[in-house]
Structure 1
Amino acid sequence: MSSNITFCDLKGNCILSRKYRNDPLVTKESVDIIPKLLLENRTNKSSNKNEGVHYLIIKYNDILAMSLCSSLDDNKMDVFEQFQFLRESCEVLDTYLHTLTSKSLRENFIIAYELLDEMTDFGIPQITDIKMLKNYITQTNRKILKPVEKRKDNLRPPEQITGAINWRSTGIKYKKNEAFLDVLEKVNMTIDNKGHVQYSEILGQINIKSRLSGMPDVKVGLDDKGLITDDMDFEEPSSSPYLENTTGMVLEDLKFHQCVKLSNYENNKTITFIPPDGEFTLLQYKLNCTSKMLKPLILCDTQYDLHEGSRLQIIVRLRSNYKKQSIANNVLVYVPVTNEYDTPTFKHNHGKVKIVTDDNDPSKSFMVWKLKNLAGGKDYGLVAELQLPSTTAQSKKKNEYLSKLPTRIEFQIPYYTTSGIQVKYLKVNEPQLGYKTYPWVRYITESGDNYVVKK
């Protein structure tokens, strides 16, 4: 339960603030001192002027979204729920304002206040579904000047108030009825210099794009090897070449869209629902894996050699660790390099190489090796040479520092899931219209935000 929701720029200057509860600790001064608190945090100083007030903050573009509360021990206060609400609120504002920035928020603060009042009641999150909010808040960004569509039912209460199905309108029609289902899994992994996995997790979600007429009943059956259904008594081995033993996976979180009939899932493990129109996330899950659970999908060995104190040689060996029929697309290898270099030269037999500066930290530079595709079982090499400005001990120290930084890898492998989860069937039934449907299922595995190889 939040006492105050505030949006600031990166300096802490308040753009808009909405107070929800008469909390004696969360006052106007709690918002006014935000710039000072941010400055003190950057300079490692402390202040007691915000004593008793907790600031839950996320960054979105050039906006700081904050939830202010006086206690985190209250049973009604869920910290993670507040962070999730702040993230979803920013995404809603980003949709309405066509890009959420400090400038667009200042120019359209009236719409923002209306949205906050609909999304929150007495500091408790209520509605963040964009399709439901569009039935209440019909204004748009005044800079875009898109007129509100005039409909006969604009003067009537939205169906979300009177209907049993508050996420789907009646009268939806398509010439061709299609349902697109994407199983997307992001893999985070930390690999040591010997190719052993130290940490791994899978963040998965099932996304659906619905272009179906009427009020269809949809059923999705999953062959999840007991990872989600908690049915661990199976004899069939996993279909994933990345898995060694499915009992090493632990389901940590499972979240369904509100349209799913949870009673059906609990009884027969079938996901049954009437879908919202358009795109939505049906299911989210998180699997934590033991160190022996997952094999590295892509391995990278990086060596730094300092020759004669003025020439830095970097040798990179990249190897794919999956079956030949699978191909990784858009592979990016980020190798840390010094930003004090001259006349770089590269020798490689695949892809393109360039050196870029980190946008968030100009003092950091990376050699980026880009490969359009990387087939399974392939092994590629890269040799780079950089001329350094001096032969001092400081150069050697920088070289030792670089050799300890991890190499980050980005990739995408279509037509596969790392966990082995498969869609057994996708059935659509519309009893009144009785039309034919065209279901499509796609699988994608890609790197998460933290797929790194240590030196």
Structure 2
Amino acid sequence: MPVAASAIYFLNLRGDVLINRTYRDDVGGNMVDAFRTHIMQTKELGNCPVRQIGGCSFVYMRISNVYIVIVVSSNANVACGFKFVVEAVALFKSYFGGAFDEDAIRNNFVLIYELLDEIMDFGYPQNLSPEILKLYITQEGVRSPFSSKPKDKPVPNATLQVTGAVGWRREGLAYKKNEVFLDIVESVNLLMSSKGNVLRCDVTGKVLMKCFLSGMPDLKLGYRITEGVNLPFRVLPTIKELGRTRMEVNVKVKSVFGAKMFALGVVVKIPVPKQTAKTNFQVTTGRAKYNPSIDCLVPMFTASGLRVRFLKVWEKSGYNTVEWVRYITKAGSYEIRC
């Protein structure tokens, strides 16, 4: 269920109403008094961002020296409410030149009222994209690339971009070279016992795409993933006590990925007691300094086995595209107990 907000209030730290907008008539005008009495004037302010008072829910967040309060009279998606507040503040900052505080609200209250009417309709969030809203909401003195020149021609199809299914992408985009960049980024988290048994192992990752494609093409991505986790390294540590004040640590690191791959920035950290006075290093390759966990970056390797099978682009003009796919595996919490 979406937000379905009944009203939204902007309060300063004293609880004074800077600006407010009522979207539904199912709440009274004294809701802000209830918020001040039961939340702001108590020690519970900031402990719980959602409170229920008199059958209404208050979803509030502090941004700089301003409290933004959303009043909801029915069951609603609280996460959506917080997301709306964050996106709305980002929108206001884009109009105010990066500032959002009590002074910015007082100096731009007319613009804020106009934006509140556009970004929420009958309590339901609408378009909060600054790029789209700046096409037709322009105020004198606001730094906007669409209104910097008074004699500029209006952007065509502004209404279509606002009401379309993909309002975040304007029409008429054209690039000299149509390219798609796809990054598969994974982090390996490992906890291994001193006997070599894996106590915990998981992979977290994300797929990042950056495209420079003309028009409004369709993209289709196919991939496969294997079962289990392929560790990029095996770490074999051994510790020998040579006396009451001396010990010898031997750490062997073996790569288990393909011979044609290589790792960048491999760092092995060996914790020692704080009272350590002197250390001697012997390394077969690389460098060592006094400062087992491991940090690394392995290009073109995925621990989860995820592989992109194809990335196809269809556009009505039939232009040719260049697809780039890159795999990156990084060490997250990679720890081996000794």
In the superposition, the TM-score normalised over structure 1's length comes to 0.49
Partner of 2:322: 438
Partner of 2:313: 428
Alignment equivalent of 1:36, drawn from 27, 38, 41: 41
Q: Is the 8 A contact 2:178 2:214 kept in 1?
A: yes
Q: Is the 8 A contact 1:332 1:409 kept in 2?
A: yes
Task: Tell me how far apart the structure 2 counterparts of residues 15 and 298 of structure 1 sit (CA, whole Å).
Answer: 60
1:125 and 2:125 are equivalent in the alignment: yes
In the superposition, the TM-score normalised over structure 2's length comes to 0.62
Task: Tell me how far apart the structure 1 counterparts of residues 279 and 215 of structure 2 sit (CA, whole Å).
Answer: 59
1:84 maps to a residue whose letter is K
Are the structure 2 counterparts of residues 65 and 441 from structure 1 closer, same or farther at C-alpha, using a change threshold of 3 Å?
farther
Alignment equivalent of 1:27, drawn from 31, 38, 44: 31
Are the structure 2 counterparts of residues 220 and 49 from structure 1 closer, same or farther at C-alpha, using a change threshold of 3 Å?
closer
Task: Tell me how far apart the structure 2 counterparts of residues 97 and 320 of structure 1 sit (CA, whole Å).
Answer: 55
1:422 maps to a residue whose letter is R
Task: Tell me how far apart the structure 2 counterparts of residues 141 and 186 of structure 1 sit (CA, whole Å).
Answer: 46
Partner of 1:209: 210
TM-fit CA distance, 1:49: 9.6
Are the structure 2 counterparts of residues 147 and 428 from structure 1 closer, same or farther at C-alpha, using a change threshold of 3 Å?
closer
Identical positions, percent: 28
Partner of 2:137: 137
Are the structure 2 counterparts of residues 147 and 155 from structure 1 closer, same or farther at C-alpha, using a change threshold of 3 Å?
closer
Task: Tell me how far apart the structure 1 counterparts of residues 335 and 62 of structure 2 sit (CA, whole Å).
Answer: 27
Structural mapping, 1:265-284, within 5 Å: none
1:213 maps to a residue whose letter is S
Partner-residue secondary structure (3-state), 2:214: coil
1:440 maps to a residue whose letter is W
Deviations 1:308-340 (A, max 9, x none): xxxxxxx9x99898748454669899x9xxxxx
Deviations 1:150-199 (A, max 9, x none): 64345875223676764544333322333333334567x58587685558
Unaligned runs of at least 5 residues, structure 1? 226-237, 239-244, 247-292, 302-314, 336-340, 350-377, 385-406
Task: Tell me how far apart the structure 1 counterparts of residues 169 and 113 of structure 2 sit (CA, whole Å).
Answer: 25
1:419 and 2:304 are equivalent in the alignment: yes
Task: Tell me how far apart the structure 2 counterparts of residues 174 and 54 of structure 1 sit (CA, whole Å).
Answer: 48
Task: Tell me how far apart the structure 2 counterparts of residues 116 and 318 of structure 1 sit (CA, whole Å).
Answer: 61
Task: Tell me how far apart the structure 2 counterparts of residues 9 and 382 of structure 1 sit (CA, whole Å).
Answer: 53
Partner-residue secondary structure (3-state), 1:158: helix
Deviations 1:201-227 (A, max 9, x none): 6352x4433323334x333322133xx
Are the structure 2 counterparts of residues 192 and 424 from structure 1 closer, same or farther at C-alpha, using a change threshold of 3 Å?
closer
1:170 and 2:171 are equivalent in the alignment: yes
RMSD between aligned residues: 5.6
Task: Tell me how far apart the structure 2 counterparts of residues 410 and 9 of structure 1 sit (CA, whole Å).
Answer: 46
Structural mapping, 1:330-345, within 5 Å: none
Are the structure 2 counterparts of residues 382 and 6 from structure 1 closer, same or farther at C-alpha, using a change threshold of 3 Å?
farther
TM-fit CA distance, 1:134: 3.5
Structural mapping, 1:12-411, within 5 Å: 16-24=19-27, 27-33=31-37, 34-37=39-42, 39-41=43-45, 50=53, 52-57=55-60, 65-71=68-74, 74=75, 77-99=76-98, 101-102=100-101, 105-106=104-105, 107-139=107-139, 142=142, 144=143, 148=147, 151-154=152-155, 158-160=159-161, 166-185=167-186, 191=191, 196=198, 198=200, 200=202, 202=204, 204=206, 206-215=207-216, 217-225=217-225, 238=226, 245-246=227-228, 323=257, 325-327=261-263, 383=290
Are the structure 2 counterparts of residues 56 and 429 from structure 1 closer, same or farther at C-alpha, using a change threshold of 3 Å?
same
Larger radius of gyration: 2
Are the structure 2 counterparts of residues 9 and 318 from structure 1 closer, same or farther at C-alpha, using a change threshold of 3 Å?
farther
TM-fit CA distance, 1:103: 5.9
Q: Is the 8 A contact 1:3 1:68 kept in 2?
A: yes
Q: Is the 8 A contact 1:58 1:87 kept in 2?
A: no
Q: Is the 8 A contact 2:268 2:294 kept in 1?
A: yes
Are the structure 2 counterparts of residues 171 and 5 from structure 1 closer, same or farther at C-alpha, using a change threshold of 3 Å?
same
2:40 maps to a residue whose letter is P
TM-fit CA distance, 1:121: 1.5
Q: Is the 8 A contact 1:135 1:158 kept in 2?
A: no
Partner-residue secondary structure (3-state), 1:24: coil
Are the structure 2 counterparts of residues 439 and 100 from structure 1 closer, same or farther at C-alpha, using a change threshold of 3 Å?
farther
TM-fit CA distance, 1:63: 6.3
Q: How many residues align?
A: 313
Unaligned runs of at least 5 residues, structure 2? 238-248
